[in-house]
Chain A
């Protein structure tokens, strides 16, 4: 049995509308909490040591035969490696197929909500936020691929039609990402583009980082399917 330390190295708020980034080192855990419920946190992941390698939505979905993210899933890069594992999730479903809100769409929906009028409560959108944060690492539009939308559920029916699921994420719901590589995590805490609310509401989130124990041979994510066992083996081989 490996003892897992629960000491939080980082514990800070992520205000509604705010963006954030950090290199989550191999063996660290990031807990993202939807404080009030009904939140939406857009996320992108990169290999911090070589950012050309990044989160790949299709590879993640097809390796595990899933169309949503929850506990037990691995988040794959385009190089067949696991950037992060979802080791805990009290929400149950996180979207990765419906993308980001743009500035134009946000203005069309909520009105201008500009800084001149609202100061730091202005209506930020996930696309602009991620572009700004990516720029700080020499990345930009070419690196903005399909993202994760944490705490968001968009259901798909038998005909393939989408429907936004209201009241999906409950107050205090959280997801824990264990970094299997040195992973650049880029976040934007902003409304999802399919959120039907007529008024802009970006909910508060909380971010906390702790150390994980070594990944056991019977680790939940690792043994959840043969694909993940191979993904973990390839990731470990990369660090030899």
Chain B
């Protein structure tokens, strides 16, 4: 895993906020701007989707990204490919080393399957996505939710085709940074999952920053 740091100074950021666990978020990142997600306390999954700001029918595509780079993990240099085959953003710095795009987002309904029928009441990333787009991105709906990125999450695949949810490889202060190649909407759920190790069984806040082009 190749780690790479950024020279950008948080004091120069044009946007800087802390997002508590279990919250949704969306923001327009303009072409040329750089977006950073900081895992403040470590082992926090950040479920993330991207949409073209002008035409949100075009969106992040996990399978096109995986095929395009010939590998399942995201890290420095990974292009984030859209459903139209374009590079939406490119990862430019990464001090974690590996991010998932196969594990998807937790949902009330899939929690019932994965953990227990009576877990339906628990908070989930899909509910965060849905409230965020209802309130702030009316051009999007459930139809537009697709397989997302899980920044800071470690989901290895074995040669036999098994999928594992391993303990996180992130740590306090680790970050991932990406530059937008066109205007995009970023949609985030700071994951509230308490049933598996993706958040170290203790969901925590993340910091989100944007630098101008």
User: How far apart sit A68 and B142, CA to CA, in the bound complex (Å)?
Assistant: 25
B27 at the interface (CB under 8 A from A): no
Q: Are B71 and A67 in contact (CB under 8 A)?
A: no
Instruction: Choose from A68, A80, A143, A160 the contact partner of B109 (Cβ within 8 Å).
Output: A80
User: How far apart sit A62 and B62, CA to CA, in the bound complex (Å)?
Assistant: 15
Residue tally, chain B, CB below 8 Å to A? 44
Q: Are A162 and B114 in contact (CB under 8 A)?
A: no
B112 at the interface (CB under 8 A from A): yes
User: How far apart sit A157 and B148, CA to CA, in the bound complex (Å)?
Assistant: 22
Q: Are B67 and A52 in contact (CB under 8 A)?
A: no
Q: Are A97 and B63 in contact (CB under 8 A)?
A: yes
Instruction: Choose from A79, A144, A160 the contact partner of B73 (Cβ within 8 Å).
Output: A160
Residue tally, chain A, CB below 8 Å to B? 47
B22 at the interface (CB under 8 A from A): no
Residue in chain A with minimal CB distance to B75: A160
Q: Are A58 and B113 in contact (CB under 8 A)?
A: no
Residue in chain B with minimal CB distance to A92: B161
A119 at the interface (CB under 8 A from B): no
User: How far apart sit A76 and B126, CA to CA, in the bound complex (Å)?
Assistant: 16
User: How far apart sit A97 and B157, CA to CA, in the bound complex (Å)?
Assistant: 11
User: How far apart sit A105 and B64, CA to CA, in the bound complex (Å)?
Assistant: 12
Q: Are A80 and B146 in contact (CB under 8 A)?
A: no
Cβ–Cβ < 8 Å partners of A136 in chain B: none
Q: List 25 A-B contacts (CB under 8 A).
A: A56-B147, A57-B63, A57-B102, A57-B147, A59-B110, A66-B162, A78-B110, A78-B126, A78-B145, A80-B109, A81-B109, A97-B62, A97-B66, A97-B102, A99-B61, A99-B64, A100-B63, A102-B85, A142-B144, A143-B143, A145-B147, A146-B63, A146-B146, A156-B72, A227-B114
* B contact set with A: CB distance below 8 Å: 57, 61-64, 66-67, 70-73, 83, 85, 98, 102-105, 107, 109-114, 116-117, 126, 142-148, 156-159, 161-165
